[in-house]
Amino acid sequence: MKLDSYWLDTAPPGLPASEGPVEGRYDVAVIGGGFTGLSAALAFGRRGASVAVLDAGRMGGGASGRNGGQCNTGVAQDYAALRAQLGVERAQDCYRAYAAAVDTVERLIREEGIDCDYRASGKLKLAAKPHHLEHLERTAELIYREVDQDIEIIGRDRIRSEVDSESFFGGLLQRHGGQMHMGRFAVGLAKAGARRGARLYEHAAVTSIAKEGGAYRVESARGTLRAQQVLIATGPSRHGPFAWYRRRLAPVGSFIIVTEPLPEETLARLLPQRRSYTTSRLMHNYFRVTPDSRLLFGGRARFTASEQPSDAKSCRILRGNLAQLFPGLALARIDYCWGGLVDITADRLPRAGEHDGVWYSMGYSGHGTQMATHMGQAMADVMSGNAQANPWRNFAWPAIPGHTGKPWFLPLVGAYYQLKDVFY
């Protein structure tokens, strides 16, 4: 078993990383080489701007290359709860922003010819308890009436035709969206940006950003550059001069296992539609079939950061959850196990804007594949003068009370969620 991301391990070679020192002058410096940064580099390059992307590690090697491989519409929190919190119009705007984000991913794949095994299969949220289905039915009524009619409730009488497991009582199907190979998509975005002249610097952790003579001096582990504008797209970075952002994000670990390749007849029986799936529990699981017929199975097995000892413990928890949902896979070999950090905001909605003259976009809260890609495109518009392109422009972003950067409260949150799952 490899303690490594399946997406990164099976990504194609040939990522166009720049060699030599970080130096020169650019129109835009992008800090973070995930989907936000790579998408922004492509968008700026299409405008003829000179762009440098700096990442502390590998391009696409953070959250963008360590997630569940889903790309779906629907907000990170329950639509009914979001509606009660924000009102109908703002909740609709949030939902439509995620739908537009799926469209952006599909458009870039098509326009740039990115080979990433994209499959438009939709997402099925599975009710783990009977009253969870009742809640999904009420939520579906609101969504259908107010924002999206391409949805369907799958009742208990039909759920086994979608997922061959005794653990579920129905589900909410949202058809707009799909799944893809994250490593292939990252490499495709990087190549598309490089074709437009973007310079991609790996292992170039940023140590300082300072205003200097009408521009910004960006210092990194590989050298120093100057840029007219800076976009911070680091996600849940625990290093560098990003303390203001760290106080507003809770970096929660999410963990994933991937099985050995499974027989086609097994997959056709267990998951005949091959959608993206997520369960309704607070400590939920999510799963899907990979392009080479493996089952990817993930979740917040433990509320802790991702590191090898924690990943291995989480693997054992996830393997138990997998066997509970699909007893026939209890003895399946696990070939990959890894973890990553999810940059969760207090209300689980993204944040994007400007702070001290520097632009930022982050806080995707576990729904970053589509939104990160979309916001890279959007922030290029915003930084070119179109403020209306930012769907999150009117959201305040106060610091999380008592949070100074190290998420000491995560074990308490995890214990609360586990207890609530028992009674809810």
Instruction: Convert the pLDDT of each residue in 300-330 to its tens digit.
Output: 755 555 555 667 788 899 999 999 999 999 9
Give the range of the structural domain holding residue 159, as residue numbers without chain letter: 6-414
Q: Is residue 307 part of a domain?
A: yes
**CA triple 162-417-238, angle to 5 deg:** 100
Q: Is residue 421 part of a domain?
A: no
Is pLDDT at 416 greater than 50 in this prediction? Answer: no
For residues 246 and 288, the answer to whether their CB atoms sit within 8 Å is no
Per this entry, what is the length of the chain?
Answer: 424
In CATH, what number is assigned to the domain containing residue 61? 3.50.50.60
Q: Is residue 60 part of a domain?
A: yes
Q: Is residue 420 part of a domain?
A: no
Is pLDDT at 96 greater than 70 in this prediction? Answer: yes
Nearest one of 340, 50, 368 to 200, comparing CA atoms: 50
pLDDT at residue 367 in the model: 87
Give the pLDDT mean for 329-357. Answer: 94
pTM of the model as a whole? 0.94
* Helix, coil or strand: residue 182: helix
Who contacts 330 (Cβ-Cβ below 8 Å, separation ≥6)? 322, 323
Who contacts 141 (Cβ-Cβ below 8 Å, separation ≥6)? none
For residues 234 and 32, the answer to whether their CB atoms sit within 8 Å is yes
Q: Is residue 153 part of a domain?
A: yes
Lateral strand order in the sheet of 250-259:
151-154, 171-174, 123-126, 276-279, 285-289, 295-299, 250-259, 334-344
pLDDT tens-place string over residues 250-260:
888 889 999 99
For residue 203, name the pLDDT band (cuts at 50, 70, 90).
very high
Alpha-carbon span 153 to 145, nearest angstrom = 14
Q: Is residue 263 part of a domain?
A: yes
pLDDT tens-place string over residues 128-183:
999 999 999 999 999 999 999 999 999 999 999 999 999 999 999 999 999 999 99
Is pLDDT at 422 greater than 60 in this prediction? Answer: no
Alpha-carbon span 190 to 375, nearest angstrom = 16
Q: Is residue 424 part of a domain?
A: no
pLDDT at residue 419 in the model: 55
Is pLDDT at 236 greater than 90 in this prediction? Answer: no
Domain count, the chain: 1
Is pLDDT at 362 greater than 60 in this prediction? Answer: yes
pLDDT at residue 78 in the model: 86
Q: Is residue 423 part of a domain?
A: no
